[in-house]
Amino acid sequence: EADIYQTPRYLVIGTGKKITLECSQTMGHDKMYWYQQDPGMELHLIHYSYGVNSTEKGDLSSESTVSRIRTEHFPLTLESARPSHTSQYLCASSESDTQYFGPGTRLLVL
């Protein structure tokens, strides 16, 4: 079982604020992913990284940005939060094709 952590677990914030969602893993996995999950349950890939200094956009367009300066760390940033960003954000990591998920961050933008 992979150890992957996300902070904060819950965040309520006002429109226009800048936020950073943290994701870290202790497995030394090269690949990391960010998913957005709405109440309708479906998971949508918004960003992924195959290693340090590598980031790509996923299948679902997102106004968020990511960085990968260290192997274990893959933060997601929203420069100006809006109510439409309200969702659950899930981080995952993998060594090969098996992905392990963190507990998620539930974001509410007022």
What residues line the site for another protein (CB under 8 A)?
Answer: 6, 31, 33, 41-43, 45, 48, 58-59, 90, 92, 94, 96-104
Instruction: Report the alpha-carbon angle 94-103-76, nearest 5.
Output: 70
Report DSSP state, residue 84: G
By beta-carbon proximity to another protein, the closer residue of 44 and 73 is 44
Nearer to another protein, 81 or 89 (CB): 89
- Spatial separation of the C-alpha atoms in residues 86 and 28, rounded to whole Å: 30
Q: Which of 16, 73, 26 is nearest to 49 (CA)?
A: 73
Smaller CB distance to another protein: residue 17 or 44? 44
Q: Least separation, in Å, of the C-beta of 5 and another protein?
A: 11
Nearest C-alpha neighbor of 55 from the set 28, 73, 43, 38? 73
Q: How far is the CB of 85 from another protein (least distance, A)?
A: 19
Shortest approach of another protein to residue 36 CB, angstroms?
Answer: 12
